[in-house]
Amino acid sequence: MRVVIAAAGSRGDAVPFGVLAARLVARGHDVTVVTHASLAHVMPDGPRVVTVASDPGALLAGPAGTALRRGDLRALNRTRNVFAEFLQSFGPATREAIAGADVLVASSFAIAAVDEAMRADVPVVRAHLWPEFDTLDGPMPLLPYAWTLPTGARRRARGALRRIEPYFAGVDGGWADGRLDLRAAHPTGLTTATLGSLHAYSPLLAEPVDDSRTVVTGWWREAPHEGLSERTQALLATGEAWIAVGFGSMHQNSPGRVVDVVTEACRRLGVRALVQLDGAPREADGVVVGIDDEPHHALFAQVRAVVHHGGSGTTGTALAAGAPSVVVPHFADQYHWAHLLHTLDLAPAPLPRRLLTAGLLTRRLRAAMSAGIRERAVDLGRQVATEDGAGVAVAAIEQFVGGA
């Protein structure tokens, strides 16, 4: 089977699709991954990689990303062309990659890729890292605090989102004969698919879905095979209580302030922090110690708690490691995961980025390291760690294509 995967988004969005690609290759399939050039290095050996020029890091660090984090609707409107160009970048590369393909597996925001596949009559499987269903029911992860809305209001909000999704990747047309005639450049939405959809998170955290075309697979994680660096192992071997802090590819306007907040919270609690953040001090005897990239599964399993942004992959890795979380959501689905972990008593209440202070972080960490949350995290972790999400996804894709 010839499979093309279109993975649009941040590093945390792309890495699971690399895991899926490797598993498909291991099953004997011919796989091509279309993703950002800046993320080509996170893709595994085996699948071909076709790159596009759009850079999620630059997007998140720029005015458009700032507007997204702040929820500034006026600024989002002003920067809508930036988002459109970002999404459109997948069109030409996908158009070439899908020639002769049996299926396109597309991430939520690979809208232009889906449109190209639909035009070429290539079957489409949609793959989401959060609950994104084509019905109006269920959660609405991309809208922060959507869970506070009454069911009817949430359904109306989702309906409105579905109507504007086809315009995310830009519009064509203009004024003609005295009328404004605008058409979606890529008239597909976040859930457009022809064969079915995959949802890459644990079914233990999801309500049952009565639809054979929708499969909740489990997180797409690599089997743990890498260990920690000697430097980090030596730090953890001191026998002191450590926490881990990192916000993935989320841009920080003032990383030094974040380090100061973490340092003060750790002093109050008598713990130390391993921090993956620009500007963190590197001295091994400090309260806060900056570290390089480390395999999260190995790091999280050895700390008392993890302070993170709430990305789907990081959330899944923390759960599989049995590590309590303190979630500092920045935007979009991160609020969903923060709220879900809290409602399941696996984490204290979310601590949004703009509210991050030493006092609030101290209280959240104290709660996260309590016996109750720790025991529940360890118990669920044992179950999540046994899931083979990527394997389930491969089997579902094979079934989707075989049954088409």
191-226, pLDDT tens digit by residue? 899 999 999 999 998 877 778 899 999 999 987 777
Q: Is residue 45 part of a domain?
A: yes
What's the mean pLDDT when you consider all of the chain? 89
Burial bucket for residue 18 (CB in 10 Å: 0-12, 13-18, 19+): buried
Q: Is residue 306 part of a domain?
A: yes
Contact between 245 and 262 under an 8 Å Cβ cutoff? The reply is: yes
Mean pLDDT of 360-386: 96
CA dist 267 and 282 (Å) reads: 17
Strands 171-176 and 179-184, bridge-based pairing: antiparallel
- What's residue 59's pLDDT? 82
What's the pLDDT band for 175 if we cut at 50, 70, 90?
A: low
The verdict on 192 and 266 lying in the same domain is no
What's the pLDDT band for 181 if we cut at 50, 70, 90?
A: low
The verdict on 399 and 360 lying in the same domain is no
The verdict on 199 and 310 lying in the same domain is no
What's the pLDDT band for 178 if we cut at 50, 70, 90?
A: low
What's the pLDDT tens digit per position in 305-343?
999 999 999 999 999 999 999 999 998 899 999 999 999
What's the pLDDT tens digit per position in 45-97?
999 999 999 988 888 788 877 777 666 667 767 777 888 888 889 999 999 99
Q: Is the pLDDT of residue 177 over 80?
A: no
CA dist 39 and 55 (Å) reads: 8
Place of tokens 């890292």: 129
- What's residue 337's pLDDT? 94
Residue 180 has a CB neighbour count (10 Å cut-off) of 8
CB burial of 35-63 (b: ≥16 within 10 Å; e: otherwise) equals: bbebbeebbbeebebbbbebbbeebbbee
Q: Is the pLDDT of residue 397 over 80?
A: yes
- What's residue 43's pLDDT? 95
The verdict on 261 and 393 lying in the same domain is no
Q: Is residue 257 part of a domain?
A: yes
The verdict on 381 and 391 lying in the same domain is no
The verdict on 201 and 285 lying in the same domain is no
Q: Is the pLDDT of residue 256 over 70?
A: yes
Question: Between 182 and 75, where is the model more confident?
Answer: 75
The verdict on 206 and 251 lying in the same domain is no
Mean pLDDT of 379-399: 96
The verdict on 199 and 255 lying in the same domain is no
What's the pLDDT band for 361 if we cut at 50, 70, 90?
A: very high
Mean pLDDT of 383-403: 95
Residue type, 6: A
The verdict on 212 and 255 lying in the same domain is no
Q: What tokens appear for 163 in the block?
A: 């109507």
Q: Is the pLDDT of residue 136 over 80?
A: no
Q: Is the pLDDT of residue 104 over 70?
A: yes
Q: Is residue 225 part of a domain?
A: no
Question: Between 86 and 7, where is the model more confident?
Answer: 7
Q: Is the pLDDT of residue 174 over 60?
A: no
- What's residue 185's pLDDT? 67
Number of domains in the chain: 2
Mean pLDDT of 26-47: 96
Q: Which of 6-20, 39-53, 128-142, 166-180 has the lowest mean pLDDT?
A: 166-180
Question: Between 250 and 314, where is the model more confident?
Answer: 314
Q: Is residue 224 part of a domain?
A: no
Q: What is the CATH number of the domain that holds 25?
A: 3.40.50.2000
Q: Is residue 235 part of a domain?
A: yes
What's the pLDDT tens digit per position in 257-278?
999 999 999 999 999 999 998 8
Q: Is residue 304 part of a domain?
A: yes
**Range(s) of the domain holding residue 211:** 2-219+387-403
The verdict on 245 and 211 lying in the same domain is no
Q: Is the pLDDT of residue 182 over 80?
A: no
Q: Is residue 265 part of a domain?
A: yes
The verdict on 204 and 267 lying in the same domain is no
Burial bucket for residue 206 (CB in 10 Å: 0-12, 13-18, 19+): middle
The verdict on 306 and 167 lying in the same domain is no
Q: Is the pLDDT of residue 33 over 90?
A: yes
Counting runs of H as helices and runs of E as strands, what totals does the chain give? 16, 14
- What's residue 211's pLDDT? 80
- What's residue 239's pLDDT? 85
Measuring CA to CA, which residue among 325, 312, 318, 272 is closest to residue 299? 318
Mean pLDDT of 19-43: 97
How much of the chain exceeds pLDDT 70, in percent?
Answer: 93
